[in-house]
Structure 1
Amino acid sequence: MDVQKILSAVAIIFALSACSYKKSAESVFPGKSGADAAACLGQAIQTRFIVEWEDGKFTVEKSSSADKFEKEFIVPKLNEIRFVQYDRTFQVETAKEVRASGYSDSWGQQMIKADTLWAQGIYGQNIKVGVVDSYVDTSHPQIRPRIAVNAAEIPGNGIDDDGNGVVDDYYGARFVSTPGTNPTTSSHGTHVTGIIAADPNYGDIQGVAPQSQIIPAQFISDDGRGTLGDAILAMQYAVSRGARIINASWGGSPCDTSLKNAFVSLQDRGILVVVAAGNEGTDIDVSPTFPAAFNVGTQITVAASSRMDFMTYWSNSGFNLVHVAAPGEDILSTVPNNGTAYMDGTSMAAPMVSGAAALLMSARPTATAVQVKQAILQSVDVTSGHQFKVNTRGRINVQKALEVLTRLVP
């Protein structure tokens, strides 16, 4: 057989292989039968669908039924769609407010050595962090100067001035399809934001990266409920606004396919995602919770350390899936209505790491998310008798992390 015949035979084989798989509505929406919904504790929203497109974007679509959605939406756009899943509600695990005394109010920032970078003029300048969480009080005097305003939007006019699909997102955006009934505004998102970026020129709190910029993207209602689709839209929005870091101080999702795909998409775009390990006191290597257990390449999952530099008894752990510890006990930060409060939780530990990452990116703007993660994980403090049940066995030290990052990115 001559060369031309061989090449023709090979071409036929490849053509047959390419035709052996034909995309179908069932292949992109495998959970339509309801089996997937049953496995997810029956929390599927039967009229809302998370659509992952072939170009990497996500949308949340509505229809009166799955059959109608398949016929009228999926089939006509089949070649453009990668995956479809029912949207789902879940109760978001959050932190608890506590009363503390007897220690410095900035003990966490001091323990991770953030002040050593401040002394070098490194404050997180020019780094945007997406706080994908509950309500953030952008009117708080220590928060307002740190909000990355969307100058292309005119606030309060009810118009999507910049054409990004979000109306009036001057101070951030809200993706809450399950508003809830709690009359009390959640303090969680504002507290997380203050840990990262509170401006000390206007109050008592100094965030870890007090000149970084925050992009609020709310998906958690005041009663602590959220949906997978809203979380994905919120993360996608923050990245579209220039966030290099996403802080995800939440967990509790029993269904993970679309959410993990979204995390992988963030990885592909070079975004660092910092996730709270959770507060059940369990080993997530054995009993995984999401998104903490995804272990995506640009993800850092964070356990909580105490004032005495031990693992808190309530923090989730895992030698494989939890990467580092950070201060998460008795953390003073901002809350709505110009206030401050102490809170406990891995929700407080995660923004310590997000703030540290913002400092590192500010010091080395060309560093990638992978390099920043590497620097943080390779520089933890491991004290005899205080080892943590995390992959690195230690608690973050941003001073040492900068030394590592300087070697990685001279």
Structure 2
Amino acid sequence: MSDLPTHVYPMPVRPSELVLDQAAVEALARAIGADIRADLAAYDIQDVTAVRRMHGSLLTIALLTGDMAEASKQVAIVREMQEKASARHTSGRIPEAYIAASEGPAAEFDATLGGQLEVALASLPWDVVEDSLQGTKGYLEYVSEGMVVGDVETSLDPPAAEGGELSQLLAEDLLGAAYTLSVILPNRDVLHRAYASVVNANKGSRKPDIWAEREVVLDPADKLAPVTVAVWDSGVDFAIPALGRQAWVNTGEVPGNGIDDDGDGFVDDVNGVGWTLHMDYTPEVLFPITTLVEDPGQFQQYSKGLGDVQANIDSEEASELKRKLSSLPKEGYQPFIEGLGAYSNYAHGTHVAGISVAGNPAARLMAARITFDHRVIGDRPTIAMAYKEAAANVSTIDYFIARGVKVVNMSWGGNLAGIEAGLEQTGAPGTPEERRELARRIYDITYQALAEAMRDAPDILFVIAAGNSDNDVKFDEVYPSSIVLPNILVAGAVDQAGDETSFTSFGNSQVYANGFEVESYVPGGDRLPFSGTSMAAPQVTNLAAKLWALYPDLTVADVTRLIIEGADERSEGERSYRLMNARKTLALAAQEYSS
């Protein structure tokens, strides 16, 4: 995608004003549509997901400009290009019903819209589309004009004010907001009734959970070898007793004395190392959340509420979240979203850590903290910061090597497109082409340093989350999940029944694990369910650590092979993927290595 031309569009007014002006939206939509069609005609784009996104944009443009015949054509194209079973069934259902209602009598618009949508949804195989329909129902319960306009004002107004224009990447976000304002919100109640009717009719029917029967818990009475597991993430709350008991401890350090007692270059690295947002070393392996959020408990409840809404769970937290979001004024969008982001970042590493060591008393948990940015628009990406990040990453991997870490979980990533967008959003000087070139340089510095450092640690297995963008990581250039090395396992996410989630990225995933409503610890000790490939990867890490606990002489190649060979193959159309099966993998290991 980086080889396609850079298109820009003038912004005569603020995007948050333009998005409310139908004529201006239609003019922008037509300009973007012309560029997309020209690129599709001129370039042989091999990335199916990229082409599908382009046709998805053409569908949005057709709906915004009132070209219902073209919209119908694009619905069919996008649906045909879907690779996941759930997406093939659910793709384009709202646009189809909207097109039918728009072409019928105006007095019957609501009846046609709701009736056609409900019939279409009811005809879908519930066991395939359950999660998708529940998620859309939840979204329709809280989306509001304040959210949409607040998002545009926060993320698109600043770059437009700086340069007087927006790149295609950001301008298409503006069209997405316009679609929500003009198609979804005016018809939200009708759409919600259709989804609620089908979801509620199937409320007692849940997909089977295949994971409990695959789980293996190691017995402390067994002869187990200690195995050091590093969670390279947003930090770990070792004050939680279950995690504190399994903490890796650097006995050469005196906790909290501010001295590098063991002379390894890291002060007070008792349970691991940490890096601040600007990649300076810190001995704090858990971010001090109260420096950003006055009441983290409140945002924990909002986080739980969001998960409950998406899973169609009626709870106090879900009700409160819906009340909050549905009445959110546009000026309240940024503080709320950034607060929720800060809490989610804070909780992420502890949640991943709990999954990584569950059921393995031999695991010794080491933290390697990254400080993720919670802001809608963060600092401007720079070459200097890329080198600093690269140095911190190399230093972290060297730390793992020196301390005998066997397996590292990496549920995070960055991408080329995000860097380019960050340059534009922060008003980086230069033409769009110059920003793209700079983004490439920044990306390559981080990518190459990380890949080379991982290559030079052949005795460590790095387990990496594929990502949550439903994209091919090889084409979209995402690190670290696009890196291919013998000591890397990339994990995609499936749901409780083993079906691919709608969000999981792919292209380099060797194994899939459960990434749907996985329960684990959050800071403070409560347990919450989170979803994402971030939750799938540590289950693979967990299995690798159990293999080493039982058979400490295994090589990285042995562990990788056992995990992949023990996985069950699942086919979906022309695609296939492998579902992790801890029970089968450990049985295979016992057969091969038990004396």
Structure 1 residue runs of 5 or longer lacking an equivalent are: 1-97, 198-206
Shift of 1:339: 1.8
Deviation sequence 1:194-220 (CA, Å, 0-9, x none): 0012xxxxxxxxx14344111101123
Structure 1 CA distance, aligned partners of 2:347 and 2:215?
24
For 2:563, the equivalent position in structure 1 comes to 376
Secondary structure of the 1:401 match is helix
For 2:239, the equivalent position in structure 1 comes to 139
Structure 2 CA distance, aligned partners of 1:216 and 1:108?
30
Secondary structure of the 2:245 match is helix
Structure 2 CA distance, aligned partners of 1:387 and 1:365?
39
For 2:272, the equivalent position in structure 1 comes to 172
Q: Larger Cα Rg: Structure 1 or Structure 2?
A: 2
2:356 equivalent among 196, 212, 232: 196
Secondary structure of the 1:266 match is coil
For 1:240, the equivalent position in structure 2 comes to 402
AA of the residue aligned to 2:461:
L
Structure 2 CA distance, aligned partners of 1:134 and 1:397?
28
Structure 2 CA distance, aligned partners of 1:243 and 1:163?
19
Deviation sequence 1:122-173 (CA, Å, 0-9, x none): 6975111011111211111221111111111100000000111100011221
Query: 1:7-18, aligned counterparts within 5 Å?
Result: none
Structure 2 residue runs of 5 or longer lacking an equivalent are: 1-134, 139-202, 280-286, 294-341, 379-384, 417-442
For 2:580, the equivalent position in structure 1 comes to 396
TM-score of the aligned structures, taking structure 1 as reference length:
0.65
Going from structure 1 to structure 2, the CA distance change for 1:234 and 1:327 (only over 3 Å counts) comes to same
Query: 1:289-304, aligned counterparts within 5 Å?
Result: 289-304=478-493
Structure 2 CA distance, aligned partners of 1:178 and 1:388?
44
Secondary structure of the 1:192 match is helix
For 1:219, the equivalent position in structure 2 comes to 370
Query: 1:87-166, aligned counterparts within 5 Å?
Result: 110-111=212-213, 113-115=214-216, 118=218, 125-166=225-266
Shift of 1:223: 2.6
Alignment check: 8 A CA contact 1:135 1:189 kept: yes
Structure number with greater CO (CA < 8 Å, separation at least 6) is 1
Going from structure 1 to structure 2, the CA distance change for 1:109 and 1:310 (only over 3 Å counts) comes to closer
Alignment check: 8 A CA contact 2:248 2:366 kept: yes
Going from structure 1 to structure 2, the CA distance change for 1:109 and 1:163 (only over 3 Å counts) comes to farther
Structure 2 CA distance, aligned partners of 1:108 and 1:216?
30
Structure 1 CA distance, aligned partners of 2:239 and 2:573?
40
More helix as a share of residues: 2
Secondary structure of the 1:302 match is strand
| Matching of residue 286 in structure 1 with residue 475 in structure 2 | yes
Secondary structure of the 2:457 match is helix
More strand as a share of residues: 1
Secondary structure of the 1:273 match is strand
Alignment check: 8 A CA contact 1:388 1:394 kept: no
2:505 equivalent among 310, 316, 321: 316
Alignment check: 8 A CA contact 1:129 1:243 kept: yes
Alignment check: 8 A CA contact 2:491 2:537 kept: yes
Shift of 1:334: 0.5
Shift of 1:297: 0.3
AA of the residue aligned to 2:402:
S
Structure 1 CA distance, aligned partners of 2:256 and 2:204?
44
Secondary structure of the 2:527 match is strand
Query: 1:17-28, aligned counterparts within 5 Å?
Result: none
For 1:229, the equivalent position in structure 2 comes to 391
AA of the residue aligned to 1:130:
A
Secondary structure of the 1:137 match is coil
For 1:32, the equivalent position in structure 2 comes to none
For 2:461, the equivalent position in structure 1 comes to 272
Going from structure 1 to structure 2, the CA distance change for 1:343 and 1:283 (only over 3 Å counts) comes to same
For 2:551, the equivalent position in structure 1 comes to 364
Query: 1:33-48, aligned counterparts within 5 Å?
Result: none
**How many matched pairs?**
292
Alignment check: 8 A CA contact 1:297 1:370 kept: yes
Alignment check: 8 A CA contact 2:471 2:506 kept: yes
Deviation sequence 1:36-93 (CA, Å, 0-9, x none): xxxxxxxxxxxxxxxxxxxxxxxxxxxxxxxxxxxxxxxxxxxxxxxxxxxxxxxxxx
Shift of 1:182: 4.1
Question: Aligned-residue CA RMSD in angstroms?
Answer: 3.0
Going from structure 1 to structure 2, the CA distance change for 1:275 and 1:325 (only over 3 Å counts) comes to same
